[in-house]
Each structure stands twice: as structure tokens, then as C-alpha cells.
């Protein structure tokens, strides 16, 4: 008899050797709204968020730090090349949230160096996030300069515990406290955290995210502070040609869709999965100097 724990979507994704590259939620802007629990399955169905999905930003619910005024934080990409999102932040009462969500777009840019670490604990959306994400949040220390916050669905609950790091715009899978510490402090070998890197939220397509991850691995931690841009430059059947440009170099990559795999669902064996993920493979990565990396691992969308 199969153990119930083995049928969690996160456990099934791990044992089936799923790679999270290319699954980050791409967005030009993130709107973080402090909302008291409980949350609906779809955060934008919350009565205080009526119309928020039309503002041009991905909406993330965040558990409030207190029960007084509620904070609204906007992270918006200022343009290309990308290094980090700009932050704007204002506060208002519960009944002012709809108006505050609109007003924050005109607020001044914050100069603070505070980082928001958003750990998905959205149990009404998925039980892996609700259990594994919540355990990670409560077991995590509050590092200096970092706001560790419980957030709504970040996408990809099969990779729980998941987290989103802003303003740098990196998305992460299958986290634990040691891994998060390495990511926050940028310590240790990049190769050890790369299997947990879902991609840059500033990169608009899965193929770009797959290529950008390969460049991150090649360059090292300094890549996350490097101005960079990416574009799709060609399509050839199942192959996508992309280009990544930065002051430290340029790279052209070929990413191929090589098939699909079942998308695990909590409580259901993989044989009963109703959805599938595209599998993407990095075929080649060529730098401006001609260096090439070929035949990377399969990467699902």
C-alpha cells in the first residue's frame, strides 16, 4: 500500500526527478497585499482585492505583521537591463485596501535595502504548501535586513516548499533553512543551489529562464547583481533560440521541448495525473567567446 505522504505532489515531483528550471512566475510587477487569514483558494477572489488583478501586477497575499494598518508593497521592473525591481510601499486601513492598491503605483520609490522573502504557505490552494511551507516559515530565523513573510500561491506547488525573493526576483524550489541561508547570504557553491532555482521572474518565457539559469551557474553569485536582459531570437519547431546580454558577456542558447511529463497532484498517483508539464532541455549555451555547454538536463515548464 502506498504511503499517503508519498502521494504529496512535492514528494512525487522529487522522486520523479523533476527539474524546476523555467517554472518561475514571470511578472513585470508584484503587488504584495497584507490580508488576514483565511484566504480563498484564488487570492484575487478575496473581497478586498476586487479589481486588483486588472492593475498589471501579479498579486500576492501576505500575512499582516499586525492588525492595525495593512501594508501594500509594489515591486515593479524599471526597465531593461534588469538588476532588481523597484519598491514602493504605503499603508492603509482594511476598508482602504482597494484604493491603496491603486495608489501605491504613484508612491515614491523606496531606497531601503530590505529584502522580502516570500514563503508560500497557501494551504487552501495546496496541502504541500500549507504543511511544508508553513513548517519552513516557523522554523526560519529572521535574518538582518530580511522580512520573512507568509505568502499566497507562488505557482508550482509541486516544488514545495517554495519561495520568492524580492527585489532580486528569484524563485526557488524544495527549500530548507540551510538552502535559504545559502541563497540569502550567497555563500557556498552555486552548483549546489542551482537544482533548486526555478528562474528569474524578470525573464518572460520558460526558455529564457532555462538559459538564464545556465548563465547564473557559469558566472556565479555575482550574476544576481549584474544588469542583464534576455530575448527570444528564433523559433524552429520544438527549439527556441534565446539570447542573454550583460556587461560581463553575451550568450546564445538553444532550448528544446523534448516531451511532456505528468504533473503530480496531491493524493493522486502519477498514473492518474490530469495535467502535464512540458519538458525543456538546454541543447547548447554559447558565449560571445565561443565557449559551449551542450545537452543539459531535461527541464519542465
Spatial separation of the C-alpha atoms in residues 268 and 21, rounded to whole Å:
24
Average of per-residue pLDDT across 158-176: 93
pLDDT in tens, 53-81: 999 999 999 999 876 788 999 999 999 99
pTM for the structure as a whole: 0.90
Residue 294 in this model has a pLDDT that exceeds 80 = no
pLDDT for residue 297:
43
pLDDT in tens, 88-120: 999 988 889 999 999 999 999 998 889 999 999
Q: Three-state SS across the chain?
A: CCCHHHHCHHHHHHHCCCCCCCCCCCCCEEEEEECCCCCCCCHHHCHHHCCHHHCCCEEEEECCCCCCCEEEEEEECCCCCECCCEEEEEEECHHHHHHHHHHHHHCCCCCCCCEEEEEECCCCCCHHHHHHHHHHHHHCCCCCCEEEEEECCCCCHHHCCCEEEECCCEEECCCCHHHHHHHHHCCCCHHHHHHHEEEECCCCCHHHHHHHHHHHHHHCHHHHHCCEEEEEEEEECCEEEEEEEECCEEEEEEEEEEEEEECCECCECHHHCCCEEEEEEEEEEEECCCCEEECCCEEEC
pLDDT in tens, 5-31: 567 776 776 777 788 999 999 999 999
Q: Please report, rounded to a whole number, the percentage of residues in the chain having pLDDT higher than 70.
A: 89
Q: Could you tell me if 145 and 128 are in contact, meaning their C-beta atoms sit under 8 angstroms apart?
A: no
Amino acid at each position: 500500500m502506498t504511503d499517503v505522504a508519498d502521494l504529496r505532489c512535492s514528494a512525487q515531483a522529487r522522486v520523479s526527478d523533476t527539474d524546476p528550471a523555467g517554472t518561475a512566475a514571470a511578472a513585470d510587477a508584484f503587488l504584495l497585499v497584507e490580508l488576514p487569514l483565511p484566504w480563498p483558494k484564488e487570492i484575487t477572489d478575496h473581497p478586498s482585492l476586487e479589481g486588483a488583478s486588472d492593475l498589471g501586477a501579479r498579486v500576492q497575499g501576505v500575512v499582516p505583521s499586525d492588525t492595525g494598518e495593512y501594508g501594500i508593497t509594489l515591486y515593479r521592473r524599471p526597465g531593461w537591463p534588469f538588476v532588481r525591481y523597484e519598491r514602493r510601499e504605503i499603508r492603509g486601513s482594511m476598508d482602504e485596501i482597494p484604493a491603496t492598491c491603486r495608489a501605491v503605483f504613484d508612491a515614491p520609490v523606496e531606497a531601503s535595502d530590505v529584502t522580502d522573502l516570500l514563503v508560500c504557505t497557501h494551504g487552501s490552494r495546496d496541502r504541500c504548501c500549507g504543511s511544508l511551507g508553513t513548517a519552513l516559515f516557523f522554523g526560519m530565523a529572521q535574518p538582518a535586513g530580511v522580512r520573512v513573510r507568509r505568502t499566497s500561491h507562488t505557482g508550482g506547488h509541486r516544488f514545495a516548499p517554495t519561495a520568492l525573493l524580492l527585489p532580486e526576483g528569484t524563485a526557488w524550489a524544495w527549500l530548507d533553512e540551510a538552502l535559504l541561508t545559502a541563497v540569502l547570504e550567497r555563500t557556498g557553491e552555486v552548483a549546489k543551489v542551482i537544482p533548486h532555482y526555478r528562474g528569474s521572474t524578470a525573464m518572460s518565457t520558460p526558455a529564457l529562464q532555462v538559459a538564464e539559469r545556465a548563465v547564473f551557474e557559469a558566472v556565479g553569485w555575482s550574476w544576481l547583481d549584474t544588469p542583464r536582459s534576455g530575448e527570444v531570437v528564433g523559433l524552429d519547431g520544438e527549439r527556441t533560440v534565446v539570447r542573454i546580454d550583460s556587461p560581463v558577456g553575451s550568450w546564445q542558447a538553444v532550448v528544446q521541448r523534448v516531451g511532456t511529463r505528468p504533473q503530480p497532484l496531491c493524493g493522486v498517483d502519477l498514473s492518474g495525473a490530469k495535467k502535464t508539464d512540458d519538458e525543456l532541455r538546454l541543447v547548447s549555451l554559447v558565449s560571445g567567446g565561443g565557449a559551449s555547454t551542450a545537452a543539459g538536463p531535461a527541464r519542465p515548464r
